[in-house]
């Protein structure tokens, strides 16, 4: 008895030591506070995270969570993500530990980091991986965010048709999520995609729609971006006077930039106001060559200087071609190779984590074996424990019967009929339990319960009878379940059947002949994952019984 108590104390100590490294701490509580205020007060969240002592984050979970939250805070505060190693660690950790929600967010912000440094192939893969997870778990908001990331990559790499496809996907997901101001900005992203596709009429219509939304909601950031998007849309739609109007609105609100002046030169040139265009053009020589030559071409063309206009057009064409070639040679074409490189790196890191876990498990296992050497006599009582489990099973069956008896008169009648016609064995068992306490009676109970369990084995006739009873009481539940989820193991079907009948996990473990009750929990978890892939109506129906 003393050795047995010592054994359980040892096991508890091992578990305690294993969990000590990841116990609650000041750092973890601060990260929880930062996560809670991230959406509404990202600046405060960033300050909280920067106040943490990273050397105190000794647990892998804490380091991964910090990497996710810190990168998220940088992005929400419009700061450049200089180092993506901490978010890369978060991706590896949450992938290895099956935390899909945080893995989805980590993949997204890792994509943001790669997008910021111009690594478009890796960025688009990360965004797509995040989007796949969001679609799988039904998170419309993050599906929209990930689609926006993909659309941004295609914008930067001049893939207009793909940009439009993912901008539409972004809008549909945000529309389903119903979260503002993301939905309004999704409309603006959609306008940009139509503009880049050359559908200027559609782009102008969407600009007007977004501007109305910005004015009605008082969203100045949305209004500023909408005005800037309107400039090129109206120029492309041969409405240069409206383009000038939008640029002046930017100036009046103090939002104008030198880049906006480029389009003002173009608009003035298209309107024939060459003097105004010339005065403004002389002030924008500091702009990059592409925008400068774009404005120069329209100005010289408006002045009738055809040779100069042709020269500027040739320069503009060469610059544009150079950008296209750069994106073709080192852009998304190499995304597949980068994807496999990223995958191999993840596998390598997962292997390192697995090796560490293996050696830790080996050490702990060795200690357990040593202690088990002192407690070997416990195995002798294994049969006694099995007998007690079966007696407990019989008592639970009786308790289940009593509970169902109180539910309703109709249920009571069906249970009594079931007991009278097909389960007389349980009545005999209960008589034995109430009338015998000696060892021979216990052995008889073991034999009786063993007979019952064998009769309820996975391929037994009684299983089919129980399925028919469940179909009768629950409108064809078992038939529908087997139809909606074909190809499951027989044990999975029986697990669902016994759960519908209200059997405890201990009873189910005995019926399925599992050595450990944890096997039942694992099987039930996997079954729930399969059920969650069904439509909402079927999913809710089946999950209500598990």
On whether residue 331 sits in a domain, the answer given is no
Residue 114 phi, psi (nearest 5): -70, -35
Structure confidence at residue 321 as a pLDDT band (50, 70, 90): confident
Residue 20 has pLDDT above 50, yes or no: no
Q: Which of 297-306, 375-384, 446-455 has the lowest mean pLDDT?
A: 446-455
Residue 47 has pLDDT above 90, yes or no: yes
Residue 422 vs residue 117, higher pLDDT: 117
Structure confidence at residue 220 as a pLDDT band (50, 70, 90): very high
Distance from the Cα of residue 306 to its chain's centroid? 57
* DSSP output for 323-383: HHHHHHHHSGGGHHHHHHHHHHHHHHHHHHHHHHHHHHHHHHHHHHHHHHHHTGGGGGGHH
d(CA 143, CA 105) in angstroms, rounded, equals 10
pLDDT per residue as tens digits for the range 435-470? 555 566 566 666 666 666 555 555 577 888 888 888
On whether residue 208 sits in a domain, the answer given is no
On whether residue 418 sits in a domain, the answer given is yes
d(CA 163, CA 192) in angstroms, rounded, equals 9
d(CA 348, CA 314) in angstroms, rounded, equals 49
Q: Which of 139-143, 323-327, 490-494 has the lowest mean pLDDT?
A: 323-327
Count structural domains, the chain: 1
Q: Which domain holds residue 393?
A: 384-543
Residue 509 vs residue 25, higher pLDDT: 509
pLDDT per residue as tens digits for the range 270-295? 898 988 888 888 887 655 677 777 88
On whether residue 459 sits in a domain, the answer given is yes
pLDDT per residue as tens digits for the range 351-369? 777 778 778 778 887 888 8
What is the predicted pLDDT for the residue at 375?
A: 77
In this structure, the dihedral spanned by the alpha carbons of residues 284, 288, 294 and 298, taken in order and rounded to 10 degrees, is: 20
pLDDT per residue as tens digits for the range 410-442? 544 554 454 444 445 544 554 554 455 556 656
* E runs forming strands in 183-304: none
Residue 104 has pLDDT above 70, yes or no: yes
Count of beta carbons in the 10 Å neighbourhood of residue 485: 18
On whether residue 88 sits in a domain, the answer given is no
Structure confidence at residue 336 as a pLDDT band (50, 70, 90): very low
Residue 140 has pLDDT above 80, yes or no: yes
Distance from the Cα of residue 48 to its chain's centroid? 25
Which of 6-20, 278-292, 332-346 shows the highest mean pLDDT? 278-292
On whether residue 336 sits in a domain, the answer given is no
**Whose CA is closest to 472, among 414, 416, 419, 420?**
414
| Arithmetic mean of pLDDT over the chain | 82
C-alpha distance from residue 313 to each of 266, 294, 297 (Å): 14, 8, 6
* E runs forming strands in 407-510: none
On whether residue 244 sits in a domain, the answer given is no
Which tokens sit at 427?
């009545």
Q: Which of 119-133, 190-204, 209-223, 395-409 has the lowest mean pLDDT?
A: 395-409
Q: For the stretch 195-218, what's the b/e string if a residue is b when 16 or more beta carbons lie within 10 angstroms of its beta carbon?
A: bbeebbebbbebbeebbebbeeee
Structure confidence at residue 508 as a pLDDT band (50, 70, 90): confident
Instruction: Note if the bond before 121 is cis, omega within 30 degrees.
Output: no
On whether residue 46 sits in a domain, the answer given is no
Under 8 Å between Cβ of 481 and 542:
yes
**Quick one: what percent of the chain has pLDDT higher than 70?**
79
Count of beta carbons in the 10 Å neighbourhood of residue 160: 18
**Quick one: what percent of the chain has pLDDT higher than 90?**
37
């Amino acid at each position: 008895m003393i050795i047995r108590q010592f054994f359980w104390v040892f096991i508890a100590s091992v578990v305690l030591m294993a969990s000590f490294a990841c116990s609650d701490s000041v750092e973890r509580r601060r990260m929880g506070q930062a996560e809670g205020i991230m959406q509404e007060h990202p600046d405060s969240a960033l300050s909280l995270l920067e106040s943490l002592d990273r050397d105190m984050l000794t647990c892998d979970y804490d380091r991964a969570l910090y990497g996710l939250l810190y990168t998220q805070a940088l992005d929400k505060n419009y700061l450049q993500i200089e180092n993506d190693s901490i978010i890369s660690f978060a991706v590896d950790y949450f992938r290895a530990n099956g935390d899909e929600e945080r893995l989805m967010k980590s993949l997204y912000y890792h994509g943001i980091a790669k997008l910021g440094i111009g690594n478009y192939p890796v960025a688009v893969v990360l965004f797509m991986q995040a989007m796949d997870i969001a679609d799988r778990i039904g998170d419309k908001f993050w599906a929209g965010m990930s689609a926006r990331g993909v659309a941004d990559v295609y914008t930067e790499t001049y893939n207009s048709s793909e940009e439009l496809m993912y901008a539409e996907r972004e809008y549909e997901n945000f529309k389903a999520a119903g979260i503002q101001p993301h939905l309004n900005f999704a409309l603006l992203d959609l306008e940009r995609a139509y503009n880049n596709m050359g559908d200027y009429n559609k782009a102008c219509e969407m600009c007007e729609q977004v501007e109305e939304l910005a004015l009605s909601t008082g969203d100045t950031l949305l209004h500023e971006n909408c005005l800037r998007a309107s400039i090129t849309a109206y120029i492309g739609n041969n409405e240069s006077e409206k383009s000038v109007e939008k640029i002046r609105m930017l100036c009046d609100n103090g939002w104008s930039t030198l880049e906006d002046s480029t389009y003002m030169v173009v608009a003035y040139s298209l309107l024939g106001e060459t003097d105004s265009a010339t005065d403004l053009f002389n002030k924008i020589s500091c702009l990059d060559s592409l925008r400068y030559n774009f404005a120069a071409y329209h100005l010289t063309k408006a002045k009738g200087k055809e040779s100069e206009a042709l020269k500027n057009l040739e320069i503009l064409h060469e610059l544009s071609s150079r950008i296209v070639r750069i994106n073709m040679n080192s852009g998304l074409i190499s995304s597949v190779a980068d994807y496999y490189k990223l995958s191999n790196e993840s596998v390598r890191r997962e292997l390192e984590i697995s090796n560490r876990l293996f050696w830790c498990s080996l050490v702990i296992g060795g200690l357990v074996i040593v202690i088990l050497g002192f407690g070997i006599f416990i195995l002798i009582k294994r049969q006694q424990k099995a007998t007690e489990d079966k007696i407990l099973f019989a008592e639970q069956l009786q308790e289940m019967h009593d509970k169902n008896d109180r539910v309703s008169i109709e249920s009571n009648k069906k249970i009594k009929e079931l007991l009278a016609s097909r389960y007389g064995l349980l009545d005999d068992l209960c008589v034995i339990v109430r009338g015998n306490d000696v060892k021979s009676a216990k052995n008889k109970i073991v034999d009786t319960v063993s007979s019952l369990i064998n009769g309820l084995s996975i391929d037994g006739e009684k299983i089919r009878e129980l399925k028919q009873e469940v179909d009768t009481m629950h409108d064809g539940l078992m038939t529908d379940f087997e139809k909606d989820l074909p190809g499951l193991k027989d044990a999975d079907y029986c697990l669902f059947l016994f759960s519908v009948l209200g059997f405890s996990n201990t009873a189910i473990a005995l019926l399925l002949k599992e050595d450990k009750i944890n096997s039942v929990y694992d099987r039930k978890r996997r079954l729930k994952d399969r059920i969650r892939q069904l439509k909402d109506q079927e999913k809710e129906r089946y999950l209500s019984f598990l």
